[in-house]
């Protein structure tokens, strides 16, 4: 598939291409161009024109284009799902769920892009100011937005950037993950075919290491919206210069289980939230902090559920866990499990690897201060550690460089209220794990998990600028 620069499907100026392969069985899914810095700059040149066109389009016209794109995404959902599975190794059932949200996300953005309200300012409350002045705020698009996305949700995370950006009247240059460019290109085609101004959207495929600095540091870019690792986000923040930044970064999400919890519910939710997408989710359950009085009951419920997860060919409808994104990644997670075992953790099930496929694992007696708890795992395993009481569990939950999502299982409202107040995470779930997201809700992390919020309404807000206008009349 060719990349998209300003409405034209084209090769790289270097002529270089690379294969996109299935991490499950290695088959070549397609071939894409490897863009150069020159291609990235050409995309930004065209985006300058695109930003001017987009800015003059009335909101209802932008919404019409997005609604047509949403209908196309609905029509093409099965092809998008097959593409997701082929390039990520994600089970087709999960990929269908992800692709099935595409149209709804774009429709939500179409609506939010028409809701750019401002405020009237009570300027006469300012001492010395009379009623002869009127002040108000106006929202306008940022201009050019660079969007950089990771591999793990190649449809969802691309759309959470390009749909609100376009709805709000910006031009976008997207750099999708090198392992998953095809889904991004197919989504971009929906917008092109819906009649978007060609200059308003480019998708450059290739290496983030090579294209990232060019895109991120260019002074014409007003906003960088990045989702990916904390290491890459830190680099972006250091070179971006004076720009708006949204950084959706890594995590090690905790779940607390109290003695009064519904243990069956907690085990069911952890058996999903730790293993969906092979644990390659920023809001995956990584650290389970269980009250020592119910630890044995919880593990007795959890382990058979994890053992029952069907692992295998991602194209089969019954598979619940496919491959990780690469054999290298599966080897890294395998090594982390082995290191935790060597430090005294008990591997109750899983951890065996074949290629990029890793059997889902549960580890108990994990030291909460160990790398297995502290470092982002991004694989199909959970670390179970004991806590003495709610206060100790909250302290352990907060003992992390990250703060993206958290969950607590309890039937006591007082405990739930204390947890929602005291846990330092951008999203806190009561009686579910952090692995839950509605596309409309504000979504983003604290601490090392990032800055800014996504979720369509929040993204539209962050992808627009607020201007204050004062009309000076004369005293009468």
148 binds ligand NAP (CB under 6 A): yes
Are 201 and 162 a contacting pair, CB within 8 Å?
yes
Cα end-to-end span (Å), the chain: 67
Report the nearest approach of ligand NAP to the CB of residue 375 (Å): 10
Number of helical (H) and strand (E) elements in the chain, helices listed first:
16, 24
Does 251 contact ligand NAP by CB under 6 A? Answer: yes
Q: Which of 178, 223, 243, 457 binds ligand NAP (CB under 6 A)?
A: 178
Restricted to residues 99-138, the positions that interact with ligand NAP (CB under 6 A) are none
* Contact flag: residue 314 with ligand NAP (CB under 6 A): no
Report the distance separating Cα 307 and Cα 324, nearest Å: 18
Does 207 participate in binding ligand NAP (rule CB under 6 A)? Answer: yes
Query: Considering the rule CB under 6 A, would residue 248 count as an interface residue with ligand NAP?
Result: yes
Q: How far is the CB of 13 from ligand NAP (least distance, A)?
A: 18
CB closer to ligand NAP, 178 vs 243: 178
Stretch that binds ligand NAP, among 163-171, 245-253, 270-278, 365-373 (CB under 6 A): 245-253
Q: Give me the 357-386 binding string for ligand NAP, x by CB under 6 A, dash otherwise.
A: -------------------x-x--------
Phi, psi of 398 (to 5 degrees): -85, -10
Name which position in 55, 133, 235, 418 contacts ligand NAP (CB under 6 A): 235
Using the rule CB under 6 A, give the single segment among 42-50, 106-114, 191-199, 232-240 that binds ligand NAP: 232-240
Q: Which of 94, 98, 248, 295 is catalytic?
A: 248
In eight-state DSSP terms, residue 86 is: H
Q: Which residues contact 127 (CB under 8 A, 6 or more apart)?
A: none
Candidate ranges 133-141, 161-169, 203-211, 381-389; the one touching ligand NAP (CB under 6 A): 203-211
Place of tokens 């997005």: 66
Question: Under the criterion CB under 6 A, does residue 249 sit at the interface with ligand NAP?
Answer: yes
Nearest distance in Å: CB 387, ligand NAP: 24
190 is a catalytic site residue? no
Nearer to ligand NAP, 85 or 225 (CB): 225
Pick the closer one to ligand NAP by CB: 404 or 428: 404
**Nearest distance in Å: CB 452, ligand NAP:** 10
Q: Residues 166, 282, 419, 460: which binds ligand NAP (CB under 6 A)? A: 282
- Nearest-5° angle of CA 33, CA 38, CA 40? 70
- Using the contact rule CB under 6 A, the part of the chain among 35-43, 123-131, 229-237, 391-399 near ligand NAP is 229-237
Residue 332 interacts with ligand NAP (CB under 6 A): yes or no: no
How many angstroms separate the Cα of 296 from the Cα of each of 99, 253, 291? Answer: 39, 22, 10
Does the active-site annotation cover 210? no
Residues numbered 385-414 forming contacts with ligand NAP, rule: CB under 6 A: 404
Contact call for residue 450 and ligand NAP (CB under 6 A): yes
Alpha helices in 254-389 (DSSP H): 263-273, 295-307, 327-342, 371-374
The CB-of-238 to ligand NAP minimum distance in angstroms stands at 10
Smallest distance from ligand NAP to CB 363, Å: 20
- Closest approach, Cβ 42 to ligand NAP, in A, equals 18
Alpha helices, DSSP H only, in 128-171? 156-167
CB of 276 to ligand NAP, least distance (A): 13
Show Cβ contacts of residue 415 under 8 Å, excluding neighbours closer than 6 positions.
Answer: 258, 260, 390, 408
Q: Is 11 exposed, middle or buried (0-12, 13-18, 19+ CB in 10 A)?
A: middle
Q: How far is CA 366 from CA 250, 289, 337, 342, 372, in A?
A: 21, 10, 10, 11, 8
Among 113, 169, 208, 368, binds ligand NAP (CB under 6 A): 208
Measured between alpha carbons, how far is residue 200 from residues 50, 61, 117, 146, 148 in Å? 4, 14, 23, 12, 16
Q: Which is nearer to ligand NAP, 85 or 88 (CB)?
A: 88
Catalytic residue among 98, 199, 282, 295: 282
The binding site for ligand NAP (CB under 6 A) comprises 148-152, 157, 175-178, 207-209, 212, 216, 227-229, 232, 235-236, 248-251, 282, 376, 378, 404, 445, 449-450
Catalytic residues: 248, 282
């Amino acid at each position: 598939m060719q990349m998209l620069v300003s409405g034209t499907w084209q090769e790289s100026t270097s002529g270089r291409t690379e294969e996109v392969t299935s991490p499950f069985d290695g088959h070549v899914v397609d071939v894409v161009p490897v863009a150069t810095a020159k291609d990235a700059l050409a995309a930004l040149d065209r985006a300058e024109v695109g930003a001017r066109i987009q800015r003059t389009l009335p909101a209802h016209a932008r919404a019409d284009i997005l609604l047509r794109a949403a209908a196309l995404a609905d029509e093409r959902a099965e092809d998008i799902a097959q593409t997701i599975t082929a390039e990520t190794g994600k089970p087709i059932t999960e990929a269908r769920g992800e692709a099935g949200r595409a149209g709804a996300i774009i429709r939500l953005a179409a609506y939010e892009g028409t809701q750019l309200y401002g405020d009237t300012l009570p300027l006469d409350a300012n001492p010395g100011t009379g009623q002869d002045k009127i002040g108000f705020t106006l929202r306008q698009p940022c201009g050019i937005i660079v969007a950089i996305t990771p591999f793990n949700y190649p449809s969802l995370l691309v759309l959470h950037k390009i749909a609100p950006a376009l709805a709000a009247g910006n031009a976008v240059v997207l750099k999708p993950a090198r392992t998953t460019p095809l889904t991004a290109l197919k989504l971009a085609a929906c917008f092109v075919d819906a009649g978007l101004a060609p200059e308003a959207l480019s998708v450059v495929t290739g290496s983030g290491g090579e294209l990232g600095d060019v895109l991120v540091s260019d002074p014409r870019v007003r906003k960088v919206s990045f989702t990916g690792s904390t290491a890459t986000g830190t680099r972006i923040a250091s070179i971006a210069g004076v720009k708006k930044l949204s950084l959706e970064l890594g995590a090690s999400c905790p779940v607390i289980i109290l003695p009064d919890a519904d243990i069956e519910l907690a085990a069911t939710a952890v058996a999903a939230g730790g293993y969906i997408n092979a644990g390659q989710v920023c809001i995956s359950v990584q650290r389970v902090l269980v009250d020592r009085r119910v630890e044995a009951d919880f593990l007795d419920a959890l382990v058979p559920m994890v053992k029952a997860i069907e692992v295998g060919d991602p194209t089969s409808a019954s598979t619940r866990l496919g491959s990780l994104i690469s054999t290298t990644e599966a080897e890294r997670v395998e090594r982390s499990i082995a290191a935790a075992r060597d430090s005294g953790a008990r591997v109750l099930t899983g951890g065996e690897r074949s290629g990029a496929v890793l059997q889902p694992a549960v580890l108990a007696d994990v030291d909460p201060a160990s790398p297995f708890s502290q470092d982002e795992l991004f694989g199909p395993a959970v670390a179970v550690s004991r806590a003495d009481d709610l206060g100790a569990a909250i302290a352990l939950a907060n003992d992390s460089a990250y703060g993206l999502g958290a969950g607590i299982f309890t039937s006591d409202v007082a405990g739930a209220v204390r947890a929602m107040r005291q846990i330092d995470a951008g999203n806190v779930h009561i009686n579910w794990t952090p692995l839950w997201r509605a596309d409309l809700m504000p979504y983003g992390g604290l601490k090392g998990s990032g800055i800014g919020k996504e979720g369509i309404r929040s993204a539209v807000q962050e992808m627009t600028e607020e201007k204050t206008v004062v009309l000076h009349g004369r005293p009468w």
